[in-house]
């Protein structure tokens, strides 16, 4: 049991969603630069999110997985346990920033589409909420330990605050903002003056937001379980990596797909 790594599962679950998201994001960029010739703030946010999520976070998960993730504590060296915590720290920070910038990109796209006063107020208020909690949670991750870096398991003296409130808060606000965006955009898509087929396509894309919510929920569950059972953290962290990849890349799919070509 202790020698059964879950490396392949994590790599597949991280890389495949990243490839699909990257294809769609690059198609969006091509559409905006060469077809529409109209690069906007939403594209800049999505570019930042793609670099952080599909590239940096996927690469980090690959490194973490090849060395550590999904292997039982009993087969870990002390050096790997130290590396686990450090990479986990970086992964949490990248995840939080990526999720926030993706939502900001989606909101910026909605500002382009929905020009009425009420919609603009709702979108800008939502953007302010997202920016505020993303900044606060990112700072909380950075300063969770003294000194300011992830604690090296039990080998290096470091004072770290309780991570549970931050993890729960992150999950709640991420899910809440996703629900707000779904409630906001669904009736407005139905009211757009476009063909029925286009409406169905857009609603199908928006419905991926439900998968993002499910993935965010599962990530919280497995993260808290890993914290409770700290001795099995490397073993349990494979689930966290999988659901983080699903959430991040499905979010990018939702944000990128509507702008792949002019509606």
Contact between residue 21 and residue 50 where contact means Cβ atoms under 8 Å apart: yes
pLDDT at 153: 45
Q: Average per-residue pLDDT in the chain?
A: 84
- Of 90-94, 129-133, 148-152, 196-200, give the lowest mean pLDDT range: 148-152
What is the helix (H) or strand (E) element at residue 160, kind and residue range?
strand 159-160
Computed on alpha carbons and rounded to an integer, the radius of gyration of the chain in Å comes to 19
Report d(CA 131, CA 133) in Å as an integer. 6
pLDDT, residue 77, reads 62
- Check if the beta carbon of residue 62 is closer than 8 Å to that of residue 9: no
What is this structure's pTM? 0.88
C-alpha separations of 177 from 34, 131, 200, 223, 248 in Å: 32, 11, 23, 20, 14
Give the per-residue pLDDT at 226.
Answer: 75
Domain definitions of the chain by residue range: 7-259
Over residues 225-236, mean pLDDT: 64
- Give yes or no for a contact between 171 and 213, defined as CB atoms under 8 angstroms apart: no
Residue 76 has pLDDT above 80, yes or no: no
Contacts of 226 (CB under 8 A, 6+ apart): 232, 233, 236, 237, 240
Instruction: Please state, in angstroms and rounded to a whole number, the distance separating the CA atoms of residues 49 and 248.
Output: 9
Q: Which pLDDT tens digit goes with each residue over 156-165?
A: 556 777 777 8
User: Which of 87-91, 230-234, 240-244 has the weakest average pLDDT?
Assistant: 230-234
At the top level of CATH, which class does the domain 7-259 belong to? mainly alpha
91-131 pLDDT, tens digit each: 889 999 999 999 999 999 999 999 999 999 999 999 999 99
Instruction: Tell me which of 152 and 158 has the higher pLDDT.
Output: 158
Is it the case that residue 16 has pLDDT exceeding 50? yes
Say what the alpha-carbon torsion angle 83, 89, 93, 98 is, to the nearest 10 degrees. Answer: 50
Higher pLDDT, 258 or 104: 104
Percentage of the residues of the chain whose pLDDT score is greater than 90: 49
Residue 148 or 33, more confident: 33
């Amino acid at each position: 049991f202790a020698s059964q790594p879950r490396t392949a599962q994590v790599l597949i679950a991280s890389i495949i969603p990243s490839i699909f998201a990257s294809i769609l994001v690059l198609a969006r960029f091509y559409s905006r630069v060469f077809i529409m010739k109209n690069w906007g703030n939403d594209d800049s946010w999505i570019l930042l999110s793609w670099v952080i999520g599909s590239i940096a976070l996927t690469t980090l998960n690959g490194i973490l997985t090849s060395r550590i993730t999904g292997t039982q504590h009993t087969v870990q060296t002390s050096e790997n346990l130290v590396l686990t915590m450090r990479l986990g720290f970086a992964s949490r920070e990248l995840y939080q920033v990526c999720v926030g910038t993706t939502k900001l990109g989606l909101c910026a796209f909605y500002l382009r589409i929905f020009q009425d006063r009420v919609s603009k107020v709702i979108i800008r208020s939502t953007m302010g909420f997202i920016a505020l909690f993303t900044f606060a949670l990112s700072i909380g991750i950075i300063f969770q330990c003294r000194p300011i870096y992830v604690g090296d398991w039990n080998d290096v003296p470091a004072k770290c605050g309780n991570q549970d409130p931050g993890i729960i808060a992150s999950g709640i606000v991420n899910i809440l903002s996703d629900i707000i965006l779904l409630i906001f955009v669904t009736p407005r898509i139905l009211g757009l003056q476009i063909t029925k087929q286009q409406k169905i396509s857009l609603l199908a894309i928006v419905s991926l937001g439900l998968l993002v919510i499910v993935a965010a929920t599962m990530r919280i569950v497995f993260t808290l379980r890993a914290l409770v059972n700290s001795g099995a953290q490397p073993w349990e962290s494979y689930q966290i990596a999988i659901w983080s990849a699903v959430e991040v890349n499905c979010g990018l799919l939702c944000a990128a797909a509507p702008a792949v070509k002019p509606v």
